[in-house]
Amino acid sequence: MIPAVLASAIPEDSSVTHRSCKSSSTSPRFCWVKPSKMFYCKICLSECHIKKGQTLEKCTCTFCKECLEQYVLFSISNGNVLKLPCPDALCRKSGQLTSNEVSQLVNEEMFQKYVVLRRKKEVAVDKTKSFCPMVGCDGICSGIPGVSEPTTCQECGYTFCFDCKESWHIGMTCKEYKEVISDSASGVRFVDILKESGEMGDLKECPLCQVLIMREAGCAQMMCGHCKHIFCWHCLKSLDSDIMLRHYDKGPCRNKLGHSRASLFLHRTQVVAGFAFFGLMVLVASPFLLLISPCLLLSKCLLRK
């Protein structure tokens, strides 16, 4: 007679980490699997307890809270707040951190900085939106780009022209209205006075936050000290994603970077070399990690026993 074999059910949602079996001479052997209390953080490349981790809402990737906090702080400090992608470069769902998750990882002061920078970035990207020009008001208004039409701020009730950002001028073009108010100190900004007097010099406004920036020396690649926005000094085009400085290879800003071709070539070589070195390190370390991982898991299992 063939003896029957009995096995307990294994939960589908638990990972197999430790198997415990009991047997006796009078009863069949039963095995069960304990759910894992550890996870592997792909930022610090180490195993952490599940209590020290945080799972992202949109992609369910899990990282330790300390690594996520440093990742968010670094992104905010560099002005990268429009999108905070999942730190896992191979994330299948291409998840992003939500505002609620950011608020849980940083303090109140840093979170408010994140909110302000995000609003500024959203307005700068969307040409149908603009900040209210009234001093002290942070309201966001909508309109048609390049069209002179009245726009009323919902926060303070101020009505202005969406095209020139001046008070609404009925029956007058933006140019005519600026000529009318040119003699009035209350209707002219400081930067407009400098432009009209020819004393503007190397002084321009940041295209993102409108803070005045003076260029004393150096190349045409500028970074705003207020919002960390990187742009071209000549045409004010954004260079946030142009790490190779290809912007200065064509168009009206061709060869206007302010550096020689040799220094530009050296910069690009250093960028490529940096990426190549990082890829080589990952390639070299991968077999080593694969070899040492079973040893680490075995040692932890032995310690638990």
Active site residues: 219
* Contact (Cβ atoms closer than 8 angstroms) between residue 69 and residue 110: no
Give the Cα separation of 224 and 79 in Å (integer): 10
Give the Cα separation of 108 and 302 in Å (integer): 44
| Radius of gyration of the chain measured on its C-alpha atoms | 29
Give the Cα separation of 9 and 236 in Å (integer): 64
Is 196 exposed, middle or buried (CB count within 10 Å of its CB: 0-12, 13-18, 19+)? exposed
C-alpha angle 272/248/117, rounded to 5°? 80
Looking at the DSSP bridge assignments, the partners of residue 141 are 130
For residue 216, which phi and psi values (nearest 5 degrees)? -95, -40
Number of neighbouring beta carbons within 10 Å of residue 26:
5
Cα four-point dihedral sign 227, 230, 233, 234:
negative
